[in-house]
Structure 1
Amino acid sequence: MEQTNESSFKQAYRCFPLSDINKSHLEAGNRIIMPPSALDRLAFMEVEYPLLFEIENPASGQVSHCGVLEFSADEGFVFLPNWMMKTIKLIEGELVIVKKTSLPKGTYMKIQPHTMKFTSLTNPKAVLEKAFKHFACLTIGDTILITHNHEDHYLDIVETKPSNAISVVETDCEVEFAQPLDYKEPEKKPKTVITWKNDPDCKAQEEPAKFTPFTGAARRLDGKTPPAEPISTSDNGSDAAAERMRMTTDLIVKSHKRQGKLVFGSDDTIQPAKISKSVSKQDVKEGSLKIEEQKFQPFTGKKYILAG
């Protein structure tokens, strides 16, 4: 499997997670464990330090970068953090190609936490500075793992400068945080609109008053005010008005019959007094003639004197 080249190092290994050799405490980082033969080859090559490697999944073509922690693995094997295997979709026991490379020192990185729990830490940048001591490099597209106060935090590498992969060993690097993946925009509450009655722009248009016939007050000829009648607001306004008119007319007729009032014309409703049996028909006849003579007849040329 080993490929010999005096100027480069490129080797294929079977990959396994660090947990298989009881080194799970090295998960929060990106340094791998290689076999001693790799160190022997590198010792005879002109290489730059720190030692950085490109790792590639030959099945998918996905690539990431890492450093090396020690050379103590069995020959033909390499042990990687579990998160790195997931990043380039490696399955335990599959082949991975490890190639020596060099990377520029990073000047900028943009990181996106998976949860807001990380950004709510007292000083997330200080937490990163401490965690990056276990990292040799970063690659755009990686999802790295860091541990703080026994809690795991996953972060996506969104952007790096000056290249897509940078070294973070002994370098000053600007860090920017993107909004966490679980961030949700706060719901906007509907605005409460207050309408003032004295605002001319907000006045409601008043409906025109409906015309209701026969709504005037009734009057009596004797000067007295008849009892007030409730005004009907039902749709049958004409019937109510007619009823009020009939009651008013009855009041006027009754007032005509009261003593001491002047009545124009004859009153057919006045019944004649009963005639006593002791009065003869002749007396009744003569009395009727006298009454006829005393009736007021207009334009007859006669004069009448009203008895005082």
Structure 2
Amino acid sequence: MFYGGYAYHGSTFEQTYRCYPASFFDKPHLEGGDKVIMPPSALDRLASLHIEYPMLFELHNDATQRISHSGVLEFVAEEGMIIMPYWMMQNMLLQEGDTVRVKNATLPKGTYVKLQPHTTDFLDISNPKAILEKTLRNFSCLTTGDSIMVAYNNKQYYIDIVETKPASAVSIIETDCEVDFAPPLDYKESEKPQQPTVPASKATAEGGDTVVEDEPKFKPFTGSGKRLDGKASKLQASEVPSSARSVPSDSNKRSNEQTSAPATSGASNSTRQKTGKLVFGSSASNNKEPQKAPAKEEEPPKKDESKFQAFSGKSYSLKR
């Protein structure tokens, strides 16, 4: 049974209207919420039904199979027409004059909502949470998949409803609802700076600090001493194993006889370092007892002329 275009289905209200945006009727305040304006005949029908308050409606676009939900602000529209926010018409892919099916609905109170701004500039607002709370006071319900509009400082921000609990459409009137934000759609993660790789040879201390190995430094006065006359120094002689010294060769015997000649005269080992010879090394400093100067400087032993003699030759004067 139909009366005035309305269908009677027990306690259910269902009617088809032609939709128009709020700007057509000088109703810009509708854009800040999710409420629609319906004709007075709808109020008469709803008053005769035992429906729950606040009045919530399910909107259907049968051509595109899009569904959304809304509240009602007034019943002053012309018959057969419904005035809707433009952002809601965009969600449902509706154009001016398209038909929309309106049905009363009962929604659970929301406990959780996840939102995702379209642009990162929404997060640049000094207090986006306060702006969002103020805007949602004009909303009756939220539907997963919708994009709501938040107006602030002469700018419009669009926010997607990513998830709602405990159902895909919830009522947010007089309820405590937890709100979570997803990264904006145009958000790009900044490239992380590459950290320098630590070689495996470098150990890590217990406190977590990396122990850096000391670079090799120059160490002066290291190495073995060399004599200009070709003979072995005391340090090199001490490094020779005892087994090698026990059986001297013929060539070593000759050199030992020459080096032992000054020793038979009763002079100390220090007399081997005589004027005209340079010994590089620390062999002289290894002696614990201080060396005593010889009582009388002996003449150097005669050497073969065939051997190299350091610091020998004639001296010349720069004066003429």
TM-score (norm 1): 0.62
Measure how far apart 1:193 and its partner are.
6.3
Structure 1 runs of 4+ aligned residues shifted over 6 Å read none
Q: d(CA) in 2 for partners of 1:13 and 1:138?
A: 22
Is the 2:30–2:84 contact (alpha carbons within 8 Å) kept by the matching residues of 1?
Answer: no
Return the alpha-carbon distance in structure 1 between the equivalents of residues 194 and 108 of structure 2. 51
**Among 55, 60, 70, the residue aligned to 1:56:** 60
Gaps of 5+ in 1: 204-308
2:99 maps to amino acid: L
Given the alignment of the two structures, is residue 160 of structure 1 paired with residue 164 of structure 2, yes or no? yes
Size of the aligned set, in residue pairs, is: 201
Compute the TM-score of the two structures, normalised by the length of structure 2. Answer: 0.59
- Please say if 1:24 is aligned against 2:33: no
Distance across 2 between alignment mates of 1:53 and 1:26: 16
Question: What is the match of residue 70 of structure 1?
Answer: 74
Q: For the residues of structure 2 that align with 1:53 and 1:119, how far apart are their CA atoms?
A: 32
CA distance, structure 1, for counterparts of residue 136 and residue 21 of structure 2? 20
1:152 Cα offset (Å):
1.0
Q: 1:275 aligns to what?
A: none
- Find the counterpart in structure 1 of residue 140 from structure 2: 136
Alignment of 1:190-269 (within 5 A): 190-191=194-195
User: Which residue of structure 1 aligns with residue 179 of structure 2?
Assistant: 175
CA–CA separation in structure 1 for the residues paired with 2:112 and 2:196: 45
Aligned partner of 1:64: which letter?
S
Amino acid of the residue matched to residue 190 of structure 2? P
1:278 corresponds to: none
Larger C-alpha radius of gyration, 1 or 2?
1
Instruction: Report percent identity of matched pairs.
Output: 52
Determine helix, strand or coil for the equivalent of 1:120.
coil
Q: Which runs of 5+ in 2 are unaligned?
A: 203-211, 217-320
Partner of 1:81: 85
1:5 and 2:9 correspond: yes
- Among 29, 43, 46, the residue aligned to 1:42: 46
2:124 pairs with 97, 120, 123, which one? 120
Deviations 1:168-223 (A, max 9, x none): 1111100000001111010233445699xx988x99xxxxxxxxxxxxxxxxxxxx
Give 1:93-108 correspondences, 5 Å limit.
93-108=97-112
Deviations 1:142-190 (A, max 9, x none): 0000112222110000000110000011111000000011110102334
CA RMSD of aligned residues (A): 2.2
Counterpart residue type for residue 32 of structure 1: V
Partners of 1:9 and 1:2 in 2: CA distance: 8
Aligned partner of residue 137 in structure 2, secondary structure: helix
